[in-house]
Amino acid sequence: MRFRSSIAIGAFCLLAAACGWAEGGDSARLASVLAWDRDEDWFGGFSGMEVAPDGNTFLMVTDRGRFVEGRFMRDDDGGLVGVEEVRMERVKTRTGEVPRPFERNSEGLAQSAQGGPIYVCFEGQHKVEAFEYPGASAQSLPALPGTEQLSRNEGLEALAVDQVGRLVVVSEGAPEAEEGFPIWRLAEGEWHILDNISREGGFRPVGADFGPDGRFYLLERSFNVVGFSNRVRRFDVENDKLVNGQELFRAATGVHDNLEALSVWRDTTGAIRLTMVSDDNFFSFQRTEVVEYVVQQAP
């Protein structure tokens, strides 16, 4: 979602105060933060991301209809130190044209770790489309049921592909105030409601991925006049329900910017890494940062 608040975000907290650790079970620790900037008018608004299994090559999408590819530079400990080999392509319509501004609010991105089509969900139009490669014309997917009740600015926000290639999309809004946030899954050519994410603590879903462990990871965000708070929860999927939910980390307000995209992968040590990128909304008082946490297994 594009924040349109005119309230400037204050100074952010020290990284040492970043994490609210999950009690019991696994938790995640902050591994590195990379401030990223480019002097190009298309740069910013990152809202969806996939990181390759090697942890280096990435594909992102911005909420102004751009695909951005590149490669993370890392130090000997795996920490993020820079970005190189950056390429940008426009998100195209089904007829190969550049979409009009109200048609290009691309919010979520997903692709199987084995490759294949690139999927993008669009907020406002409440649709998901497929692309053979960045810059290719869009391919239509079936319409999602029930999305006509969602508002234009609280629609489809997070997209993921499970281990058998089924698409899952999560809404940032809910048709009814008392309901949870709906999750749809595309199976056998039709979208069905898989489950609902409970409302809790003022957080809203903004990014999602299935990890190499088969679990569903959800990035959530809350906002107040001071800044953004972020957390990641992890779920098992059993009998078409999300169960055993666990909060891996919660970053205090202002520690990170507007984290909106999440990619989950396994590093060379076998540890699960959560790589996230922020949407700066093209505001000068916000920043684009790539943030990475490592999941720590409980003893």
**pLDDT tens track for 76-85:** 999 999 999 9
Answer for the pair 183, 168: CB distance below 8 angstroms, yes or no. yes
Domain CATH number, residue 269: 2.120.10
The answer as to whether 10 is a domain residue is no
The answer as to whether 179 is a domain residue is yes
Query: What average pLDDT does range 160-185 have in this prediction?
Result: 85
The Cα 77–Cα 225 span in angstroms is 36
Residue 178 confidence (pLDDT): 57
Number of separate domains in the chain: 1
Residue 185 confidence (pLDDT): 96
The answer as to whether 79 is a domain residue is yes
Residue 92 confidence (pLDDT): 96
Domain residue limits at 178: 15-296
Average confidence score pLDDT of the chain: 88
Residue 13 confidence (pLDDT): 36
Nearest to 234 by CA among 27, 19, 71: 27
Token digits for 215?
């679990």
The Cα 273–Cα 53 span in angstroms is 10
The answer as to whether 199 is a domain residue is yes
More confident residue, 103 or 254: 254
Tell me which DSSP letter residue 168 carries. Answer: E
pTM of the prediction?
0.90
Residue 177 confidence (pLDDT): 54
The answer as to whether 2 is a domain residue is no
The answer as to whether 31 is a domain residue is yes
More confident residue, 20 or 164: 164
Query: What average pLDDT does range 130-149 have in this prediction?
Result: 93
The Cα 289–Cα 36 span in angstroms is 6
The answer as to whether 4 is a domain residue is no
The answer as to whether 226 is a domain residue is yes
Per-residue pLDDT tens over the stretch 186-213: 998 999 999 988 877 789 999 999 999 9
Residue 297 confidence (pLDDT): 84
Answer for the pair 72, 58: CB distance below 8 angstroms, yes or no. yes
For the chain, what is the radius of gyration of the CA atoms? 18
